[in-house]
Amino acid sequence: MIESFGEIGGIKIKRYVLANKNKMQVKILNYGGLINSIIVPDRYGNFRNVALGFETIEGYVAGRSSYIGSLVGRYSNRIANASFVLNGETYTLPANNGKNCLHGGAKGFDQYIWKTEETIDGLRLLITSPDGDQGFPGNLQVEVNYVLNDDNSLRIMYRAITDKSTPVNLTNHAYFNLSGGADDTILDHQMQLNADSFIEPDKDLIPTGNIMPVSGTALDFRTSKKIGQDINTIPGGFDHSWVLNNSGELKHAASLYNEKSGILMHVETTEPGIQFYSGNFLDGSLTGHNGKKYSKHSGLCLETQHFPDSPNRPEFPSTILNPKQIFRSETIYKFEMQSTP
């Protein structure tokens, strides 16, 4: 089903509604390729929207700096000093996060109006990012497929090709609150991460280069625990990149659970890292679904991706896509309902 969702610059914005046999729904916009809502059943048989979002396109424009629900690229996360050297040439990017480049620059993929194609089981989105876009080299063709399965899993598949070597690091920036409005914050959510180590950040959230063990730190989520248990020991809250126990295959990365709703979400990915962001910069200035004010920790992000600043860190897994290569990545968010508290 396709619904009208306003206009931007005279271009009509469309909302696509995916549904499965269990009446789960995922709503996606061609603006930013973003996830507008994810509606799943809870333990009581009621349906709850577990993704933050807005009721109008104006809401997304006003809240653009939060990237709520968006497809992010060319490079998700941060690139230090908004520059990198590739094949002997220095490339300068927009510095839109202090002196650093965040989520692809001043106008990343979150602001594109994507070409859309309905498929048998989902939605295909396509863009071409031209050579020099936000300072990045190469004409980059990107394809993202959203597939909603009858096991209540949302599968996101990324594909890209280029005609010139360029960094590529794509993700989705959905914010989750599995209470579906019952809890104002995600602090009582239980979370588990399949990661023994994390990327040590400096004060600007740029990697120092050190990969640190989570053991004995507040970042140890190897065993499920409440997000609020140790968050006050982290200045500002969690906004870190964990090194997943993964070698490129589709594998378990995280689990998230809310006791009030009984909704459990599993995350699988082929990516080597996951950025857990606890909604630290939400400040109540944005009004989302059902008139809800999005305040600090109203939602959280589990962004599957490569590591921050990889173009400047040769010791990290490479994010460079070369001509004749194909970038592929896959992430699955699967929702289950726990019948008893």
Helical spans, DSSP H, in the chain: 57-62
List Cβ neighbours of 168 (8 Å cut-off, separation of 6 or more).
Answer: 73, 74, 75, 140, 160, 162, 319, 320, 321, 327
Q: 3-state class of 318 per DSSP?
A: coil
How far apart, in Å, are the Cα atoms of 154 and each of 72, 112, 214, 243?
17, 22, 29, 23
For the record, the structure tokens of 92 come out as 């300068």
Please give the distance of CA 307 from its chain centroid, rounded to a whole number.
13
Query: What is the rounded CA–CA span in Å between residue 128 and residue 241?
Result: 28
For the record, the structure tokens of 28 come out as 């996606």
Q: What single-letter DSSP state applies at residue 34?
A: -
Cis bond before residue 159 (omega within 30° of 0): no
For the record, the structure tokens of 38 come out as 């994810």
Place of tokens 């020991």: 233
For the record, the structure tokens of 33 come out as 């390729």
Please identify which of the residues 103, 173, 189, 297 carries the catalytic annotation.
173
Return the closest-CA partner of residue 309 out of 238, 186, 162, 205: 205
Query: What is the rounded CA–CA span in Å between residue 269 and residue 65?
Result: 25
Place of tokens 């140790």: 230
For the record, the structure tokens of 91 come out as 């490339």
- Helical (H) or strand (E) element with 91: strand 89-92
Are 338 and 264 contacting, i.e. CB atoms less than 8 angstroms apart? yes
Catalytic site includes residue 303: yes
For the record, the structure tokens of 100 come out as 């650093």
Please identify which of the residues 240, 268, 303, 306 carries the catalytic annotation.
303
Please give the distance of CA 65 from its chain centroid, rounded to a whole number.
14
Catalytic residue IDs = 173, 303
